[in-house]
Structure 1
Amino acid sequence: MTSIIKHGKKEAQEIIERVIGQLKHLQGGAVEEKCPIGIISMENWEWPQGVGLFSLYLYYRKTQRTEIKQYLIDWFDRRIAEGLPYKNVNTMCPMLTLSFLAEETGREDFMSLCREWAEYAAAEMPRTEEGGIQHVVSGHLNEGELWDDTLYMTVLFVSRMGLLLQEQRYIDEGIYQFLLHLKYLTDRRTGLLFHGWTFNGRHHFAEALWARGNSWYTAGIVDYLELVQLPKPVERLLLSALEQQAAKLAELQASDGMWHTLLDDPSSYTETSATAAFAYGILKAVRKGFLPEAYRNIGAKAYAAVVSRIDSEGVVQGVSYGTGMGRTLQAYRDIPVCPMPYGQSMALLMLIEGLEH
């Protein structure tokens, strides 16, 4: 089997180091921040930082490099000392990494926070009709709305805490949220996911098949299946959804290996964070036996495309800024592009997975 890493593992490791260096030191200023909590600098507590932290934790787990673990511990200590933001879907994201650190360090202050936030997510977080987790974010209640981002930002953490605390209702809640989100967000024509659904009017907003939103499922499902032992019929359904999605992604992949920010719209720009997350999810799914070997080439092509967009300093280029629910397709085409923590982190996850192939 030919390695997907074009120039060898030593060069891949060097790229990884540069990407990590830039992830730690990203600062705002590239675009005007529109979110109440800044989502560019790693010194804030929001979902992009949460994604970045998790990628660093997985790299630590693979390499056992203690300085990475210490960076993560110090990051949480600083944020806790500053005071945490209010609990919502997106601010839940850093808690996934904290749950691993709490277990590994034995620190009760970390574990206490994890218990508190998990119980809030499972029992108190606002719900839509049918008990879906309402996509409440900093500054917006989004009443009655389900978004595909929620599964990655909140449900992975709740499920992880179910395993850690042996709390079956958390595990059951995670299963229910995955199934309910697939029920309402799946585009049956393509197997892709719409960005969102609202029970207030019962529609899919602009009917956007948004790349990064789809990639949260592709990347998230392979990690979810590592976190929780699912009933076989549930696992079968979730993997069936993944293969449906992957089949359409193979059809829509651009000639250079990228995917467009609106997956079915070649006039929209190609977007690097989604392409990296697709590459990560597809390659890992093939390695785990979740997808047929034939998909490996799709992931490898995407891997090479993302590497070509990492500059000599380790900055991942071509990443779209945080994207709220678009009421028109043009809104997605108009999202500005700038380096972001999740661009760095999804490229990092992809690069780490590439070492396995």
Structure 2
Amino acid sequence: MSPITDSHTADAERIARVKQALLSMQRYSWEQGVAAQALLESGDTELAFLLARDAVNRQDTSGKLGVMNDGYSVTDSAANGEAVARAAQATGDPLFIKGAASMLDWLLHHAPKTEEGILRHVIDKPQVWIDSFYMAPPFLAISGHFDEAVKQIDGYRKLLWNPEAKLFAHIYDDEAQSFIREAHWGVGNGWAAAGMIRVIASLPDSLPEERGRIANYLQQSIDGSLAHLREDGLFHDVMDDPSTFVETNAAQMVSYSIYRGVLLGVLDKDYIQFADRMRAAVHARVDENGLVQGSCAAPFFDRPGTAPESQAFFLLMESAASQYRETEGDAS
């Protein structure tokens, strides 16, 4: 085989191992949701719909999907929303239709919010987390609630963006009007970038101002992150704190966001060199079992190790990179 074929074969084998490891690891609602999203974007629709079915089977009485013992979260379960909604559209199965509608009803009418209407992250605490960028607004957008999706993105940015650092903080207490955790967590900034990309992709042409505004947020976030990219193509766990451990998942989250941003026409192609560099660095950290090592580790996210969301974002990054290569090939 040619070197190119060898490379593509090796990539395919690595992707298969990463997917297998992901399916063995995903447990909680957000893990199941990001796994299902990764399968959707990778074209593995049948498996994504199986995860969606299980998310509906574990839907609690509030409408939150895929709940185990993480019912304390306001937005995490909405990470399953797109897979369930796509399954409803594709199959017409009342199970999926009701499941998506109940999840949407929770977010719109029952979930705790700030006085400005921004979704909190924890039911019994007045906290806004950066994680919610990815969990709720994309589902709101693909469900046709574009104004609400944009409102949430605007609200999260207002509360969490540090204009001096050009990075997002992690957790804000809405009642105390202060940060619980002001650190610029790498994976958190990855959640924000990836969430914004998915909302941009869903906004209609009739909302050019909103699309442009979120695209501007995205570019600022990417630029702020890349300012802290290490020579090895990775970031520290807290992006602007080199005393924290070197972490893997943020790099593939930012890489994914760049590939999709260029494909959507909201980022310049000059960013691809950084996406490629981060992607290569991540590939070097996948072990023989398909585990993406050195990630901010589940379940406590306080050390390097492995995590289902990191497995999923490897698949998301690979899908986006493949789509970009195909587009470039078609253009040539």
TM-score range, shorter chain: 0.7 to 0.9
Partner residue in 2 for 1:47? 30
- Give 1:201 shift: 1.9
**Alignment pair present for 1:73 and 2:49:** yes
Q: Distance in 2 between matches of 1:76 and 1:246?
A: 31
CA–CA separation in structure 1 for the residues paired with 2:54 and 2:296: 28
Deviation of the 1:252 alpha carbon: 0.7
Between the aligned partners of 2:148 and 2:249, the Cα distance in structure 1 is: 28
Amino acid at match of 2:114: T
Instruction: Give the secondary structure class of the aligned counterpart of 1:130.
Output: coil
- Asked whether the 8 Å contact 2:56–2:96 carries over to 1, the reply is no
CA deviation map 1:211-255 (0-9, x unaligned): 111111212222222222262222222111212122222221011
TM-score, normalized by length of structure 2? Answer: 0.86
Whether the 8 Å CA contact 2:135–2:195 is kept in 1: the answer is no
The aligned residue for residue 118 of structure 1 is 104
Aligned length: 310
Report the Cα distance in structure 2 between the residues aligned to 1:251 and 1:82, rounded to whole angstroms.
41
Which range moved further: 71-80 or 217-226? 71-80
User: Which residue of structure 2 aligns with residue 166 of structure 1?
Assistant: none
Shift of 1:354: 1.9
Identity level (%)? 25
2:134 is aligned with 1:141: no
1:354 to 315, 321, 326: 321
Instruction: Give me the whole-angstrom Cα distance separating, in 1, the residues matched to 2:298 and 2:234.
Output: 19
* Distance of 1:220 and 1:23 partners within structure 2: 20
Q: Give the secondary-structure state (helix, strand or coil) at the position aligned to 1:204.
A: strand
| Distance change in 2, residues 1:130/1:353 (3 Å) | same
CA gap 1:195/1:202 in 2 versus in 1, 3 angstroms? same
Alpha-carbon offset, residue 55 of structure 1: 0.2
Amino acid across the alignment from 1:311: D
Confirm or deny: 8 A CA contact 1:45 1:79 kept in the other structure: no
The offset of 1:264, in angstroms, is: 0.2
| Corresponding residue number in structure 1 for 2:236 | 260
Q: 1:85 to 1:313 in 2, by over 3 A?
A: farther
Structure 1 246/128 Cα, relative in aligned 2: closer, same or farther at 3 Å?
A: same
Q: Does 1:292 align with 2:268?
A: yes
The equivalent residue for 1:304 is: 280
Cα distance, 1:159 vs. partner?
1.7
User: Contact 1:45–1:94 at 8 Å: present in 2 too?
Assistant: no
* Shift in alpha-carbon separation, 1:93–1:160, aligned structure 2, 3 A: same
The letter of the residue matching 1:244 is: Q
Aligned partner of 1:278 in structure 2 is 254
Match of 2:142 in 1: 160
> Is residue 93 of structure 1 aligned with residue 79 of structure 2?
yes
Contact kept, 8 Å, 1:132 with 1:177, in 2: the verdict is yes
Q: Describe the shift of the 1:7–1:261 C-alpha distance in structure 2 as closer, same or farther (beyond 3 A).
A: farther
SS in structure 2 of the partner of residue 255 of structure 1: coil
SS at match of 1:181: helix
**8 Å contact from structure 2 (residues 167, 221) kept in 1:** yes
Query: Residues 108-146 of structure 1, C-alpha deviation per residue, up to 9 Å, x if partnerless?
Result: 21011111110120111111121111112xxx5222x22
> Paired residue for 1:318?
294
Q: Which residue of 1 aligns with 2:14?
A: 15
Mapped partners of 2:59, 2:209: distance in 1:
42
Amino acid at match of 2:152: Q
**Taking structure 1 as the reference length, what is the TM-score of the superposition?**
0.81
In 1, Cα distance between the equivalents of 2:270 and 2:154? 27
Contact kept, 8 Å, 2:30 with 2:77, in 1: the verdict is yes
Find the aligned partners of 1:16 and 1:153 in 2 and give their Cα distance. 24
Question: Which residue does the alignment assign to 1:228?
Answer: 203
1:102 matched to 2:101: no
8 Å CA contact 2:203, 2:211 repeated in 1: no
Higher relative contact order (CA 8 A, sep 6+): 1
Aligned residue number for residue 150 of structure 2? 175
Shift in alpha-carbon separation, 1:71–1:293, aligned structure 2, 3 A: closer
Shift of 1:291: 1.4
Asked whether the 8 Å contact 1:45–1:85 carries over to 2, the reply is no
CA spacing shift, 1:7–1:215, aligned 2, 3 Å: farther
